[in-house]
Amino acid sequence: MIFVVSLISTIFILIILILMLEYRSRSRRALARRMRYYASGMDNPQDKPKESKTLSERLRGLLRSGGQLLSNIRHARGLDLKMQQAGIPLLGAEFMILLVFSAVLVTVIVAVVSKKLHIGIMAAILTVAVEYIYVLLRIDRRSASFTNQLGDCLMMIANALRAGFSFLQAVELISKEMEPPISDEFKHVVRDIGLGNTVERALNDMDRRVGSSDFSLVVTAVLIQQQVGGDLARILDTISETIQDRIRMRREVKTLTSQGRMSGWILVLLPIGIGLFLTSMDPNYLDPLFKEPIGQMILAGVIVMEIIGAIVINRIVDIDV
């Protein structure tokens, strides 16, 4: 009975939340239509044909409306930077709403299917963890792509400076000619400067978003050159060669440590594979590990040692270059 009441209450709260977000989204759309009416000089705001919105656009509108409610939360503001670093077009508050909504939805579905509330809660925690890990993986992948493009980017800026371009013109050239993610970041810099920010602040903001030690060196060199003068093209050529050497060294280290990383994966996956194989051969073979107190203690010790071994191997093969 308690489970049924909690399930109905959860669904009721979700419905109220969706209705509130939809109401706020409609108000924002009405305001946008009025602004377009006065900006375009139409005879009647109703004369403009209604735009058909896809499901994804409606969901994004709901996320925006909900994000306004959580925009002042400190953790939401901290997630804004991670969203920018991952290249995800969401605010931190919108991502928090997405996490909460997916957690509640998974909890309800799994709890209804399994008829056990604690299993639904565990599935929701796993879902939130997977989504957050996905964001971290996107940040790592985007940062690696940015670093790999940085050497060519600096060479292009140096050549543009030698051809008579100013630094801002060279930055705008990069934003148009190169591929993402580095072009997206320099577009952000051009937009910030166009809105009135100084070059120093725009570059520092980009450095904070990117989080690359190589680009920090570039920002420092550019800012010092603007204060004391000098041949910026030659400085960028030297930094570009240094970055290319570091990228080459990272690849060599990654190749040399591939055996250790493979050993770590085998260490983690081999016991799981053996357990699945034994269970497929005899479903009752591993019952003592899960049902007997001694077996549960052994299983907990094995999991702890697996985690410790994976961490130690990761520390050994993770060489900072």
Could you tell me the residue ranges of all domains in the chain? 2-139, 149-246, 257-317
Give the fold, CATH level 3, of 149-246. Answer: Receptor-associated Protein (1.20.81)
pLDDT of 6: 52
pLDDT for 43: 46
Which pLDDT belongs to residue 296? 82
Residue ranges of alpha helices (H) inside 163-198 are 167-177, 182-194
Nearest to 112 by CA among 19, 10, 16: 10
pLDDT at res. 42: 46
Residue burial 166-182, b: 16+ Cβ < 10 Å; e: rest: ebeebbbbbbeebeebb
Check if the beta carbon of residue 321 is closer than 8 Å to that of residue 250: yes
The tokens 């044909």 sit on which residue?
49
DSSP per residue, 41-104:
T-S-GGGSPPPP--HHHHHHHHHHHHHHHSTT-HHHHHHHHHHHHHT-S--HHHHHHHHHHHHH
Task: For residue 127, give Cα distances in angstroms to 93, 139, 194.
Answer: 18, 19, 41
Model-wide pTM > 0.85: no
Per-residue pLDDT for the chain (321 aa), expressed as one digit of tens each?
445 545 555 555 555 555 555 545 555 555 555 555 544 444 444 444 444 455 455 555 555 555 555 555 555 567 778 888 888 877 777 778 778 888 888 888 888 887 777 777 888 888 888 888 888 888 888 888 888 888 888 888 889 888 888 888 888 888 888 888 888 888 888 888 888 888 888 888 888 888 888 888 888 888 888 888 778 888 888 888 888 888 888 888 888 888 888 888 888 888 888 888 888 888 788 888 878 888 888 888 888 888 888 888 888 877 776
3-class SS at 304?
Answer: helix
Cβ-Cβ contacts under 8 Å for 78 (sequence gap 6 or more) = 92
